[in-house]
Amino acid sequence: MQTLSGTDEIKEIENGGITTPLGFFAAGTHAGLRYSKKDLGIIYSDVSANSAAVYTVNHFQAPPLQVTQQSIEVEGKLQAIVVNSACANACTGERGYQDALKMRSLTAEKFNLKDHLVAVASTGVIGEFLPMEKIQSGIEQISVGQTIKHTEDFQTAILTTDTVMKSCCFSAEINGKKVTIGGAAKGSGMIHPNMATMLAFLTTDAAIPQPYLYSALKEVTDVTFNQITVDGDTSTNDMVIVMANGKAGNDLLTPEHPEWKVFKQLLKLCCEGLAKQVAKDGEGATKLIDVIVEGAATNEEARIVAKQVVGSNLVKTAVFGADANWGRIIGAIGQCPVSLNPQMVDIAIGSIQILKNSEPQLFSNEKATEYLKNDVINIFINLNNGVGKGQAWGCDLSYDYVKINANYRT
């Protein structure tokens, strides 16, 4: 365990994940949607959990998202989530909708639950139908547990072009009770969340009423998952779901609770951790780019600028090539629909000041190139135009991005 500076109460749990909070189980299996890799996963809570979700704003929201929304609407609770990779079940019309319903009822049946306590998620190719026989036998055979292996099986089963599993776990004392949040996510391409172009699953044993769980998730998503971009494309399928089963035994969390902020910080750290893992594992990525904007008129405008810079193909290719071509950062800032004074902008790459009051500074190109060869690149921007702050994460644009996406389906 390590203590995070500035958030003394909160501890990161190494090797923790979705089954670390009390009462949560997971599994992943090979149902046969892919040739050999695991492709079906389940999260299960041994009691029903207050649950909330945020969904893509893409007009072509896929059937699994509609079914999940219907589930949560009934009583704001879930007890299981079933996920498949390889097929997004998007743009599949009425048949796709019926397939998502069937996937939900098969899972409900397996755990002897009401249908509306099950959420459904899918990721993969758009426009193909789910192979329902494989889904059915996968659900029938899968067996959930709480070991690291069970958790990693789930984390693996949800991946597509991802190269690594993404997980996170944090805990804090609330009312003297240990409250834990764990998360798992997938996402590598079609990443430009708004909401989130990816799947993320969060589990917590915190006791929290559903409306507050939803508002906390929404608020945290805006500054974490919605601030990452890989390629500017917002997917049809992606969502973040949080389940809170109350097993930690804390007093119910509301905005009036003295430790409400601790809980929100826990949630934020978990979401930010997953979001950064997704950005870093962007298709073809070799580096994580972390853009920090200060001095904007508002926090929202700071986030707009950060996301524009981190999403710029020209910035991304320059970082890939370790070229401190800061004109591209200026170009990206300048096209944002925000208020700024073009005479007042500061830019630093790592600790190297590049621009001060919009005037180029003398700096060593060699040192800048050296810095740009790191795994994590920080770009600091101060608009000197207010107190707004924001941050965004992305990755560089490499030959492999093109390679992966020119041949995705083959």
Q: Can you give the binding site for a second copy, defined by CB under 8 A? A: 57-61, 88, 90-93, 125-128, 189-190, 192, 194, 231-236, 311-314, 317-318, 320-321, 323, 325-328, 330-336, 340, 342-343, 355, 358-360, 397-399, 401-403, 405-410
Q: Kindly state the DSSP code that residue 60 receives in the 8-state scheme.
A: T
Residue 160 backbone zone (phi > 0: left; psi -120 to 50: alpha; other: beta)? alpha
Instruction: Tell me the H-state helices in 194-322.
Output: 210-223, 260-280, 299-311, 313-320
> What six digits make up the tokens of 370?
């050296």
Phi and psi angles of residue 95, each rounded to the nearest 5 degrees, phi first? -60, -40
- Cα separation, 1 vs 170, whole angstroms: 9
Q: Of 3 and 374, which CB lies nearer to a second copy in the complex structure?
A: 374
Contact between 161 and 189 (Cβ < 8 Å): yes
**How near is the Cβ of 360 to a second copy at its closest, in Å?**
5
Q: Of 29 and 308, which CB lies nearer to a second copy in the complex structure?
A: 308
Q: Kindly state the DSSP code that residue 407 receives in the 8-state scheme.
A: S
Residue keyed to tokens 């899968």: 142
374: amino acid identity, one letter: N
* Cα separation values, 19 from 201, 284, 345, Å: 11, 30, 46
Q: Of 250 and 308, which CB lies nearer to a second copy in the complex structure?
A: 308
Q: Of 168 and 332, which CB lies nearer to a second copy in the complex structure?
A: 332
Binding site for substrate, residues? 160, 186, 197, 283, 405, 410
**CB atoms inside a 10 Å sphere around CB 15:** 10
Is 234 part of the annotated catalytic residue set? no
**How near is the Cβ of 36 to a second copy at its closest, in Å?**
23
Binding site, residues? 160, 186, 197, 283, 405, 410
Q: Of 190 and 293, which CB lies nearer to a second copy in the complex structure?
A: 190
**How near is the Cβ of 396 to a second copy at its closest, in Å?**
9
**How near is the Cβ of 347 to a second copy at its closest, in Å?**
10
**How near is the Cβ of 31 to a second copy at its closest, in Å?**
21
Active-site residue, from 156, 197, 204, 229: 197
Contact between 182 and 19 (Cβ < 8 Å): yes
Active site residues: 197
